[in-house]
């Protein structure tokens, strides 16, 4: 028998945006981090809903990861698979999903202690991968990602019950103010924006190119930005940006010659596994929202390994 959970964060059920206070914690572990983060960094994540750890990976590791990304992004088999999402107009590769399942190097990266220590502290215990992807934001052709909270989609379309997940964006290229870096509204992770509309079947077939549902209206975004402002960190390659599942974020297009490459892992608590989607529709496929393997991630070695495989 399946238990139907109460929908604590309804969205896409009415005609207007509604703002609700978050009822879930942000940092689940009480007390200071054992490793991976300082107490101040944990506090910053709690306050802002995101945190940048600069220079977490070495130049050699970035180079090895970038080589792997290039290999995947030019593989015919990969490009022909349904996990390859192209840009809406140019047809250039925009995102590639499920990468920890098709790449040994990226699987290793997903279990790297430097990421896992942060995820397990913030999420309060064991975690697994809900979604993985490479985002390429190609030079000249990269289109924007409109403002959204990931949690809104993961709740409505994937059935994640609570805000107990986070994204780690491993940055493989340098970020500049002008090549479409991630923008966030610091502190807005404490507000849940219930969005208008109704989810159609197979929404993912268009939403990964251009998201139209689960996006707040102009008045709501104006209100959030008036209250909190906008942050647009521009870290160098090798840095990692961690952000809360309900962080309000988006990014502009990229008409510069400088692409933005990053690898995203979405860590979810093993105590927050997906239920039936709250939209009432069938769940999205596993390559976008894993619902078949909740094995807790264990670090490959007890110490900090090098990702460079020689």
Residues 6+ apart with CB under 8 A from 157: 199, 203, 204, 277, 279, 281, 283, 284, 289
Give SS3 for 10. coil
Q: Give the angle 55-98-240 at the CA atoms, nearest 5°.
A: 15
Residues 6+ apart with CB under 8 A from 9: 20, 151, 152, 155, 163, 192, 194, 278
Tell me the two tokens of residue 52.
Answer: 């940048």
- Which CB sits closer to Fe ion, 138 or 250? 250
Minimum separation from the CB atom of position 208 to ligand 6CS (A):
5
Residues 166, 208, 247, 297: which binds ligand 6CS (CB under 6 A)?
Answer: 208
- Which CB sits closer to ligand 6CS, 103 or 167? 167
Answer yes or no whether residue 207 interacts with ligand 6CS by CB under 6 A.
yes
| H helix intervals, 111-160 | 113-123, 150-156
**In angstroms, rounded to a whole number, what is the distance separating the alpha carbons of residues 184 and 192?**
15
Candidates 114-122, 148-156, 224-232, 297-305; binding stretch for ligand 6CS (CB under 6 A): 148-156
Answer yes or no whether residue 129 interacts with ligand 6CS by CB under 6 A.
no
Cα distances (angstroms) measured from residue 32 to each of 117, 240, 281: 12, 21, 41
Minimum separation from the CB atom of position 95 to ligand 6CS (A):
8
**In angstroms, rounded to a whole number, what is the distance separating the alpha carbons of residues 159 and 172?**
31
Answer yes or no whether residue 173 interacts with ligand 6CS by CB under 6 A.
no
Answer yes or no whether residue 191 interacts with ligand 6CS by CB under 6 A.
no
**In angstroms, rounded to a whole number, what is the distance separating the alpha carbons of residues 42 and 205?**
36
Binding site for Fe ion (CB under 5 A): 150
Tell me the two tokens of residue 295.
Answer: 């094995």
Task: Decide which of Fe ion, ligand 6CS, none touches 182; Cβ closer than 5 to 8 Å per partner kind.
Answer: none
The answer to whether 189 and 246 have CB atoms below 8 angstroms apart is yes
Residues 12, 100, 137, 148: which binds ligand 6CS (CB under 6 A)?
Answer: 148
Specify the DSSP element, H or E, that contains 47: helix 39-48
Task: Decide which of Fe ion, ligand 6CS, none touches 211; Cβ closer than 5 to 8 Å per partner kind.
Answer: ligand 6CS
Minimum separation from the CB atom of position 175 to Fe ion (A):
16
Task: Decide which of ligand 6CS, Fe ion, none touches 94; Cβ closer than 5 to 8 Å per partner kind.
Answer: none
**Total residues in contact with ligand 6CS, by rule CB under 6 A:** 8
Nearest residue to Fe ion by CB is: 150
Answer yes or no whether residue 244 interacts with ligand 6CS by CB under 6 A.
no
Minimum separation from the CB atom of position 192 to ligand 6CS (A):
14
Minimum separation from the CB atom of position 185 to ligand 6CS (A):
15
DSSP state of 256: S
Letters for 223-242 (x = contact with ligand 6CS by CB under 6 A, - = none) are --------------------
DSSP state of 205: H
Residues that bind ligand 6CS (CB under 6 A): 131, 145, 148, 150, 153, 207-208, 211
């Amino acid at each position: 028998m399946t238990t139907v959970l109460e929908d604590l964060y309804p969205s896409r059920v009415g005609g207007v945006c509604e703002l609700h206070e978050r009822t879930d914690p942000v940092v689940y572990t009480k007390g200071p981090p054992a490793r991976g983060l300082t107490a101040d960094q944990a506090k910053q994540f709690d306050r802002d809903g995101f945190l940048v750890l600069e220079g977490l990976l070495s130049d050699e590791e970035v180079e090895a990861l970038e080589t792997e990304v290039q290999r995947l992004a030019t593989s015919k088999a990969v490009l022909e698979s349904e996990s390859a999402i192209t840009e809406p107009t140019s047809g250039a590769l925009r995102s590639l999903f499920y990468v920890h399942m098709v790449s040994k190097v990226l699987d290793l990266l997903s279990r790297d202690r430097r990421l896992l220590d942060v995820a397990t502290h913030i999420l309060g215990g064991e975690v697994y991968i809900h979604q993985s992807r490479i985002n390429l934001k190609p030079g000249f052709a990269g289109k924007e990602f409109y403002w959204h909270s990931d949690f809104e989609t993961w709740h409505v379309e994937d059935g994640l019950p609570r805000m107990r997940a986070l994204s780690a964006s491993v940055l493989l290229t340098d970020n500049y103010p002008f090549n479409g870096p991630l923008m966030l509204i610091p502190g807005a992770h404490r507000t849940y924006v219930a969005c208008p509309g109704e989810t159609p079947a197979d929404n993912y077939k268009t939403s990964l190119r251009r998201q139209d549902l689960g996006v707040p209206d102009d008045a709501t975004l104006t209100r959030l930005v008036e209250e909190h402002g906008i942050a647009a960190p521009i870290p160098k390659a090798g840095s990692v940006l961690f952000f809360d599942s309900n962080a309000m974020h988006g990014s502009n297009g990229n008409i510069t010659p400088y692409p933005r490459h990053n690898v995203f892992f979405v860590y979810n608590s093993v105590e927050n596994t997906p239920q039936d989607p709250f939209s009432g529709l069938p769940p999205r496929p596993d390559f976008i929202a894993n619902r078949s393997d909740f094995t807790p991630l264990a670090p490959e070695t007890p110490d900090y390994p090098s990702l460079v495989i020689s």
